[in-house]
Structure 1
Amino acid sequence: MNKEWSDLNKTLQMQLRKESTFSEGIKTLLTLRQALMDELLNMKHELRREDFNAMPFPNAKGYHSKTIAYSIWHVFRIEDIVAHSLIQNDSEIFNAYQSKIGAPIITTGNELAGSQIEDFSKAIDLDALYAYAVAVKDSTDRLLKQLSYRDLHRKFGEADKERLQRLQVVSTDESACWLIEYWCGKDVRGLLRMPFSRHWIMHIEASIRIKNKIHPRSNCVPKLGRLK
């Protein structure tokens, strides 16, 4: 794990445990999230559109077996669902971006595998996906700034599970259906420690691994074909 990200993650985990350091923990979490988003934004300018569809490790066991486009979708669909449909019980940011992105699914994508991931990555509008990711991050950041220490201990129940199931934002496939139980088995602090932070780290580090495999000698690629 990137040492800076690892250190920030460890620090925020400790800070969120105590009321006296809670506010500092939120600040640390926001700092980590911005550093991770900066990495994704850099990729948008460094890589060609086709690089986001690449699967250089198709048979690997790990997030680097996916594509960069898939990881961006997956991270921010999960965050949007958890922040809005679960925690706040309001409308997802996705509603304003669905038609623009043009994705063939509305779920987290856990159910996709192999060539399905590659086809999915090719089908989406990457500029719209990035705009969605930024909008989700900004919305979640506002939520984080509004949280109190007491909010961290809020738990979820059967009504929350049923609401997520009705929305059909998680596939019923066995590779995905466990997500609802997982999220609702956490309190808010547990969600901050995974979907809003560590989950980002794991997928972005996997994306960096993919990027370095595609362009092993340099982080730069020819300007021709870059995204605007």
Structure 2
Amino acid sequence: MDMEQRKAWNEEHKRLTEIISKPHEHIRAIELFLTHHAWLYSSKMTHGNSPTFEDAVLEHLDEQALRRYPVNAPDTKNSIVWHLWHISRIEDMTMNILVADGQQVLYSDHWLQKMNIEFSHSGNSMSDSDVAKLSAGIDISALLEYRMAVGKQTREIISSLPSGEFRQKVQADRIKRLFDEHVLLHEASDIGEYWSKKTIAGLVLMPATRHHFLHLHKCMRIKNKIQKQMTKRR
């Protein structure tokens, strides 16, 4: 995804924001969401032919670069694999708990064991030592498989929502589940409060779309900086 494509994505996201809460635009909103969402994941998820934002981030990146922590970036010091894990966890918990009131993908197929990590929370307010541990130990292939499983499940959830559902507020008992299932650290409890004030549309417009966009953009900046450093050393 080059600069022009990212600009186009932003413009279309504005369009999605305008129509998502209008019941008569329900089908169009879902179609637009699916297109937006696909650009944020590997092209393998939808068997697309055009490179996506995730494809662009991962292209020509070796394992050392993916795991590097801390990184010297203006707005983050976390590794690329941490960002990919974090946005996947946020989408998993918001779509499957807050929207669908179902089971998280994380627990559907032993993903914690497959990814070789112990962290089931979102990563918000995570300690430096835990970020370092995750960055060094996570199984990258399993992470990307988990990420794709989350994306596919989200697409099924959103595609099945009835007209008018985007306008519904997040239910309090589902916010409670976030804490009952320990998906938010106590230090990050304000995020649960923030989500409690959202509609389903609000969750779609941020955790399921723009949140990915922002973090993938950070990943791209990290990648570019690492590659520049490597070029200077040659």
TM-score category, normalised to shorter length:
0.7 to 0.9
Deviations along 1:78-108, one digit per CA (max 9) or x if unpaired, are 1111111222222111011111001131101
Structure 1: gaps spanning 5 or more residues: 219-228
The number of aligned residues is 214
8 Å CA contact 1:153, 1:188 repeated in 2: yes
Taking the TM superposition and a 5 Å limit, the aligned residue runs for 1:1-228 are: 2-37=6-41, 38-54=52-68, 55-57=70-72, 60=74, 62=75, 64-95=76-107, 96=109, 97-173=111-187, 176-216=188-228
Deviations along 1:139-159, one digit per CA (max 9) or x if unpaired, are 001111111331112223432
Give the fraction of aligned pairs with identical amino acids, expressed as a percent: 26
8 Å CA contact 1:75, 1:203 repeated in 2: yes
Q: Matched residues in 1 for 2:180 and 2:165: separation?
A: 25
8 Å CA contact 2:9, 2:36 repeated in 1: yes
Tell me what 1:222 maps to: none
8 Å CA contact 1:56, 1:213 repeated in 2: no
Q: Matched residues in 2 for 1:72 and 1:186: separation?
A: 24
- Farther-moved stretch of structure 1 (145-154 vs 192-201): 145-154
Q: TM-score, normalised by structure 2?
A: 0.84
Q: Matched residues in 2 for 1:45 and 1:193: separation?
A: 27
CA RMSD after TM alignment: 2.1
Q: Matched residues in 1 for 2:123 and 2:139: separation?
A: 16
Structure with higher RCO (Cα < 8 A, 6+ apart):
1
Classify the secondary structure of the residue corresponding to 1:28.
helix
Q: TM-score, normalised by structure 1?
A: 0.86
